[in-house]
């Protein structure tokens, strides 16, 4: 039995199965319940709200996926907090076996439908799992990689999440925590949540309301002795300022469409940001982080 087939077999034993999605949520805290409600509400808007199809986002999403593309053919990759499933199609198209997981039922069922519709030839390489990322019913050392995109800060217990990932990932396996908020970003985005006119949804994420964002030192503390931090990349400087300025204008004036930077300007700012964020002092003004670890 292959690794992917074994995972599917174990999920069949441990989880419920309905409409192409495994479900394993034996216990949910109040914090998690709020996260589920919020992400059930916003999952269809995530690509648009976060402007994932812009040059600035495509570049950095491709940056961290390149690390996954170096994995051997048929490697098993888990995404925790799949959301809209934005990063899954390129992985499936390259022949990887992918497990998409999310605590939001609406999100993960949307992912299942999206892949079935857009990539029917590869749907057999995808398992969809509604579950708490801190408590995943998967076998030990069954994965070549785990990645999350803007999801790690949503964990109620980050230490428990890291311990679970350590159990699941094989020796020398990759763990990627991408597009996680910096301290600066969380200070700015709290303005969007504190001001009614800047809100899009009535609900809120418990994590976004309480998390302070990450500093450079945090990434060295998070992994402990289990993982080696092999790459830490600050993301967005001027692009972060432009992103939230345009988003603020869109919300304040209730525009019908989001404002977009000209592609040439966005590419120019991307190059400038890469230079600025290579400078020691300026690098503290980043809006996101990409942290890449290897299991020892």
pLDDT of residue 203: 55
At 189, which helix (H) or strand (E)?
Answer: helix 183-194
Cα distance between residue 289 and residue 180, in whole Å:
5
Helix (H, G, I), strand (E, B) or coil at 56: helix
Q: Are 46 and 52 in contact (CB under 8 A)?
A: yes
| pLDDT tens digits for range 153-184 | 999 999 999 999 999 999 999 999 999 999 99
How much is the average pLDDT of 74-87? 96
Residue 1 has pLDDT above 70, yes or no: no
Radius of gyration of the chain (CA): 19
Q: Name the strands in the sheet holding 227-235, side by side, starting at the edge strand that comes first in the sequence.
A: 16-18, 21-24, 126-131, 97-102, 76-80, 143-149, 169-181, 288-295, 227-235
| pLDDT tens digits for range 182-213 | 999 988 877 766 666 656 555 567 777 778 99
pLDDT of residue 217: 94
The one-character DSSP state at 122 is G
pTM of the model: 0.94
Nearest to 180 by CA among 30, 60, 29: 60
- Look up tokens 């986002």; give the residue: 57
35 phi/psi in degrees, rounded to 5: -65, -40
Other CB atoms closer than 10 Å to residue 67's CB: what's the count?
18
Q: ∠ CA 3-122-40 to the nearest 5 degrees?
A: 90
Cα distance between residue 127 and residue 25, in whole Å:
16
What domains are there in the chain, each with its CATH number? Answer: 3-295 (3.40.50.150)
**Which tokens is 171 given?**
């020796």
Residue burial 161-191, b: 16+ Cβ < 10 Å; e: rest: bbebbbebbbeebbbbbbbbbbbbbbebbee
| pLDDT tens digits for range 33-52 | 988 888 888 767 788 988 99
Q: Which residues pair with 291 in a beta bridge?
A: 177, 232
């Amino acid at each position: 039995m292959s690794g992917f087939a074994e995972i599917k077999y174990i999920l069949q034993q441990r989880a419920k199965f309905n409409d192409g999605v495994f479900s394993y949520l034996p216990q949910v805290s109040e914090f998690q319940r709020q996260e589920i409600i919020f992400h059930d509400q916003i999952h269809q808007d995530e690509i648009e709200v976060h402007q994932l199809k812009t040059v600035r986002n495509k570049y950095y999403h491709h940056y961290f996926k390149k690390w996954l593309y170096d994995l051997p053919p048929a490697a098993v990759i888990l995404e925790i907090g799949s959301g809209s499933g934005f990063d899954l199609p390129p992985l499936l198209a390259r022949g990887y076996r992918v497990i998409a997981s999310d605590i939001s039922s609406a999100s993960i069922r949307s992912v299942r439908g999206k892949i079935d519709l857009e990539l029917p030839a590869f749907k057999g390489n995808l398992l969809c799992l509604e579950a708490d990322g801190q408590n995943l019913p998967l076998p030990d050392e069954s994965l070549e990689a785990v990645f999350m995109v803007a999801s790690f800060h949503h964990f109620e217990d980050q230490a428990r999440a890291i311990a679970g990932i350590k159990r699941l990932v094989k020796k020398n396996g990759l763990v990627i925590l991408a597009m996680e908020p910096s301290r600066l970003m969380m200070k700015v985005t709290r303005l969007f949540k504190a001001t009614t006119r800047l809100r899009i949804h009535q609900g809120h994420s418990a994590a976004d309301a309480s998390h302070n964002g990450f500093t450079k030192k945090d990434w060295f503390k998070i992994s402990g002795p289990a993982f080696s931090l092999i790459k830490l990349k600050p993301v967005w400087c001027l692009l972060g300022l432009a992103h939230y300025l345009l988003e603020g204008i869109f919300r304040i004036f209730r525009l019908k469409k989001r404002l977009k930077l000209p592609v040439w300007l966005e590419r120019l700012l991307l190059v400038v940001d890469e230079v600025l964020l290579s400078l020691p002092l300026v690098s503290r003004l980043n809006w996101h982080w990409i942290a890449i670890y290897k299991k020892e």
